[in-house]
Structures are given as C-alpha cells and as structure tokens.
Amino acid sequence: FLSLVAEFCCGFFVILILGNFWFLAVLYLLWLYLDWETPCAGGRRSQWVRSWTVWKYFREYFPIHLIKTSELNPNHNYLLGFHPHGVLVAGAFGNFCTDPPFKNLFPGLTPYLHIMPIWFGCPFFREYIMSAGMVSASKESVSHVLSNEGGGHASVIVIGGAEESLNAHPGSLTLNILKRKGFIKMALKHGAHLVPVFSFGENELFKQVANPKGSWLRNLQEKLQKIMGFALPLFHARGVFQYSFGLIPYRQPIHTVVGSPIPVKQNLYPTTEEIDQLHALYLQKLKKLFEEHKSNYGIPAHKTLIFE
C-alpha cells in the first residue's frame, strides 16, 4: 500500500516538472532542502491524518487488534521491538500510525514508527508518512525520540528489517535478529526500557513465491536488497472480487501483543559483553511472550520461534 502511494506521489511530482507547473516543483524542492532533517527530528505528526475514518476500515478489514499485557509507565521512554516484518507490516502501521488503538491502551505515550530513510526522499509521500507518525530509522532519529526528557516516547522498530520480509511465508516463524544488536545499544545509551512485541498473523496476509535460502531467486533478492536497501519479495494474495489472485492482502486477523518492559539502566558506553547480555535477555523475553500467547492464535504447540 505504501509503495503504491509513494509511486503515485513521485508520478505527480514528475507531472509537475514536465507540465506547466514546474515552478511548484521548484518551490517544493526548496522546501525539501529546508525540511530535510525533519524525519530525524521527531517528524511532523498530524492528529487529523492519524484519525482518518479510512484507517478504521483498514483495521477492521483484517481485523487488527492490539493486545496489552503490562502497564507502560509514561514517565519512561521505551524502545518497542516489533516482530515479524511480514510483507505489509500491517500490524505496526495499524496499531502505531493510526488512532485510537495505542493511545487508548497506553495513555501518555507517543509512538514513533521508524522506517527506512529512503522513503523520506520521495516527494509529497514524505509529508504523508510523517503526518502518520513515521520517522527515519537512522541512529540520529532514534536518539532524538529516546532523548525526550520526562519520558512519554516510544520508538517502534521492526527489528528484522527488509531482509526479514523474504521469510514472510504463511506459517513462518523465522526472525532475523541474532546479528541485530544496534537497537540494544541504543536502548542502553538512552536508558530506554525494551519491550518485545509479536504480531500474530503478520505472515499470513500474502503468499510468497518459494525462495528457500540458496535458491537462485533468494540469492538475487538478497543481492538486490544490498544494492537498493530494501527487499523485493514476490507475493500475491486476493483480488477485489475473487480470492484466487491479486495484490490485496487476505482477510486474516492480526493480533499484535505488546509484552512486558525490560528495565534498562542508562549506559553511555556499553561494552560488547553488556550489549550481548541484554540482547540475550531480550531474546528470552521475546520467546516467552510468543510461547505464552501462541495457543490463543492458532499456533501449534510444537512450533516455536527460530532466530537467525
């Protein structure tokens, strides 16, 4: 969905340049230059955009549910690790970029969904995603959110990133996380409490072309991902009036479960050992969260998370 909107916005910008409105394109480029750092400085959210009625229908389509398991004290800042990436990341968008799900369950906290910086280079599209509460996934951006004095901010990071979308097959429980420790370091530097979040049903929204590791398709996708910075999963789902083929996601319920916070003491210069210890604890809490709730959402008892 976001990709389609981004393509439309870029196309509209090209029309301005080629048409009789090139001066508007020039003015926007000037604005883009002056506003370039905003996605790394908390963005520019709009309560009006976040409350659009269309998002209510978006959440009800699947439907999307946000599950609270513990209180999050608004006097602290939090770093929420979202899993899995899936193809659409529908649970992250529906719960953290639209109102009122999050603010009703966690009053006093403001969520910021961190996404790849490349999206903020797209004319007009950047204004839309910032208005929804999305900000850059750069270190500077995460630091800005987590540096809020008095707490009340929640950075939401999809830990597996674009690479994990290549594992987004129905029934898949593979997470790309063993080598991803940057979020742990950020939590330590800012004393932000860590919160594991697992979104049940995220991988069931699309069917992806078989791409096992070692296959020519997977190798090609991984090479393209390294070059472009984002992955290109080949997927399909349903159409508008039929369920055989199309790009509209299947109507599968999504239950995004927010776990209990892991207290983190600020450490401006954490050692590798300290980062590894907190990372191991995070994995333990994430797995515990999954095991405690998997039976509620149709996951067989013998299935468990696979960390790569």
Q: Facing residues of 194 across strands?
A: 79, 262
Instruction: Tell me the longest C-alpha to C-alpha distance in the chain.
Output: 63
Q: How many domains does the chain have?
A: 2
CB 91 within 8 A of CB 202: yes
Domain range holding 23? 1-35
Based on the domain organization, do 167 and 296 belong to the same domain? Answer: yes
- Residues 77 and 164 both lie in one domain: yes
Same domain, 14 and 132: no
pTM exceeding 0.75 = yes
Q: How do residues 73-108 score in pLDDT, each as one tens digit?
A: 999 999 999 999 999 899 999 999 999 999 999 999
C-alpha dihedral over 64, 71, 41, 141, to 10 degrees? -80
pLDDT in tens, 103-154: 999 999 999 999 999 889 888 889 999 999 999 999 999 999 999 999 999 9
Average pLDDT over residues 202-215: 93
pLDDT at 62 over 70: yes
- Same domain for 1 and 121, yes or no, is no
